Amino acid sequence: MTRLAGFWRYCRWPAYACTEASQIVELAISLPLLMIIVVGITDFGTAFNLKQNLNNAVREGARSASKQSMQDVTNPTPLSTDAIRAVIDNYLLAARVNDCGLSGAVPSKSVSGLIWTYTASSGCPGGGTLTLIVDRGNTFQTGSPPPTTIETTHIQISYPYQWRFGRFIKFFVPTANYASGVTQINGEAIMTNLN
Amino acid sequence: MTLLIVAVSMFAMLSMAVLALDVVSLYVAKDQAQEAADAAALAGAEVLELSGTTSVPLSVPLSSVCNGSSAKADLWAQAVAAQNHIVGVSPTTVTTLCPTSAPAHNPYIRVTVSRGGLPTFFSRIWSGGAISVSATASAEAYNPSFDAANPGGPPIQIHGVKPWLVSNCNMCGLAEPLYFDSNYAIARGGSFIGQPVTLTLITSSTVPTVPGPPAPPAPPLPSPTAQFYALDGPAPLYCPSSSAVSCGQIGTGTPGLNYHDNIACENGFNFSNGQLVGPGQTWWVDTRSAGNLHARTIPGTTCLIHADTVGSGLGQDSFTVGLPVTITGGYNNPNPSLRLVDGIHRSDSVVTVPVFNCPSVGTCDGTAQLPIVGFLQLGIQDVTATGDLDAVILNAAGLDPASTGTPITGAGASPVPVRLIHQ
């Protein structure tokens, strides 16, 4: 303690400005900031990448749906809808996205309409749930005259994204509550039923 | 000094990070714009298919279905594009174009969508104007009918064809066969497109053995009647629920007797140019259901078209006669949103059936191999108590067996395939 006080007295005079170990101090200040930035970039980049993969997956699903048969949609679990699910699931797996067990999910059909909902939560990030909705009877009208009612397939996916930034920032600011937990990232696509 | 350097570099790094966010979000927007353009182009091309312009371009000129603003193909493309959101909202502009330089049997539509005013974080510092993305897609409808404008075009490949083999009546003593001439072009100037037709089953009692061809009485033009053979073939893939309207007998018949299942269900077998039907082929004239074909036609068809029973106006979708054909949803349509709605865009009652030629006199009794020379796209109105089919002809597509190259595949069941192309 006596030596430290002496060092301080020695260094506080400009003529004897002390630079020893200043890099350590600078590193101590800048490294956390740099790490925050790097982790932030990685975390948001991963989230964007997931968003892109979900968009692509539902687009592939919608393209497949546009060619699928409509002749089995009176079934509770039609083969045609399952084929659409398989296309989306295969895309996710090929993109190295955890499919949360979507491949084995059994759909539930809406009471009215042609909407099938798949939910999967096996090993999902953050203990969340993947939800895939395949609406084979989504309709809307064109402009007139005369208006035509177009029947399309509307596919929506909702995927849980587990933020890492929130856990990291707590090292430095224990009370921080930013970008923590799970956020559902969504994707959707609509394409005309061609068959 | 050091802190100043750190502050400056930190600002630079943060700027790069936020710029990266901007760029990535623009890439996401670009992807969504392409998705919207693809969907819109396919919807527009479906109008080119369903309107009949590829079959009878003189009666239905391309400009009447696609004029770049307010024709049916334009409206469909605009409507579908508007449903596909780009960063949360509909595209701000959708432009459509159907080049008239394209062959009449092979038109295409080009759709460009754009979305302006995209949200950005950092790039607004140096860009005062709004950031926008745009994407273009083209989709074609291809009718393989051979004609002077289409010498030796590529073949097509489709599935989901219904087991009704319609006679072209090429040896009925007519001035022209019913549907396709000897060059696989559409006969009679396509005057039968948009017109009603009644298809009657050829049975052992109606098949003439001498001089040969199944010979309906020489019909006036366009023919309101035609004949068909019932086909047997592989088991179908996609079947309706047996609890659906009039579908109680689907999938419950004797194994191997697939005729009526193939009416109600979708078969996965791919038909292409040069396909033969008969002994040794995947499909043959049904002899196993002999004596029972009428009875099997009725449940298969009522299930297919969602009719309560035989006759018209009993729950099934209906078709207007004359071009352009429009569809009205029946009260049994599987999609509740389409029930009793005028002007719906698709129907389970729209089917594709093969058309055959008699190879020679005396070889059309169903025991010889019969060449398929084309397809008809039909809108089934009803099935009668005697097993006849009332329909409206929507399209015709001739198949040249000599066509070579990679077959064009579209959505599956249409004889005028629709697909995205690079243009």
pLDDT at position B208: 40
| pLDDT at residue A22, rounded to an integer | 78
Q: What is the mean pLDDT of residues B38-45?
A: 96
Q: Cβ separation of B240 and A72 shorter than 8 Å? A: yes
Q: Among A36-45, A93-102, B356-365, B372-381, where is mean pLDDT lowest? A: B356-365
Rounded to 5°, the CA angle B265-B270-B271 comes to: 105
Compare CB distances from B338 to A40, A51, A151 and report the shortest one's residue.
A151
CA distance B369 to chain A (A): 29
For residue B28, give both structure tokens: 């996401």
Interchain proximity A139–B32, CB inside 8 Å: no
CB spacing of B46 vs A192 below 8 angstroms: yes
Contacts of B31 in chain A (CB under 8 A): 52, 55-56, 59
Q: Which of A5-19, A38-52, A87-101, B281-295 has the highest mean pLDDT?
A: A87-101
Which of A3-12, A58-67, B315-324 is the least confident region? A3-12
- Compute, in degrees rounded to 10, the torsion defined by CA atoms B236, B240, B245, B249: 40
pLDDT, residue A115, reads: 97
* B399: pLDDT strictly greater than 80: yes
Of A75-84, B9-18, B41-50, B165-174, where does mean pLDDT reach its minimum?
B9-18
8 Å CB contact between B348 and B239: no
pLDDT at residue B325 above 50?
A: yes
**Is the pLDDT assigned to residue B227 strictly greater than 60?**
yes
The half-sphere exposure of B410 on its side-chain side, counting CA atoms within 13 A, is: 25
Q: Is A171 on the interface with B (CB under 8 A)?
A: no
Chain B residue closest in CA terms to A77: B241
Confidence of residue B72 (pLDDT cuts 50, 70, 90): very high
- Higher-confidence position of A154 and B131: A154
Shortest distance between the Cα of B130 and any Cα of chain A, in A, equals: 22
Contact between B199 and B224 (Cβ < 8 Å): no
Average pLDDT of B236-244? 92
| pTM for this entry | 0.90
- Which residues does chain A have within 8 Å of residue B17's beta carbon, measured at their own beta carbons? 37, 40-41
- From chain B, pick out residues whose CB is under 8 angstroms from the CB of A66: 42, 411
Mutate to test the interface with B, among A46, A141, A150 (most CBs of B within 10 A): A150
Question: Which residue did the predictor score with more confidence, B117 or A190?
Answer: A190
Which sign, positive or negative, has the C-alpha torsion B127, B129, B130, B134? negative
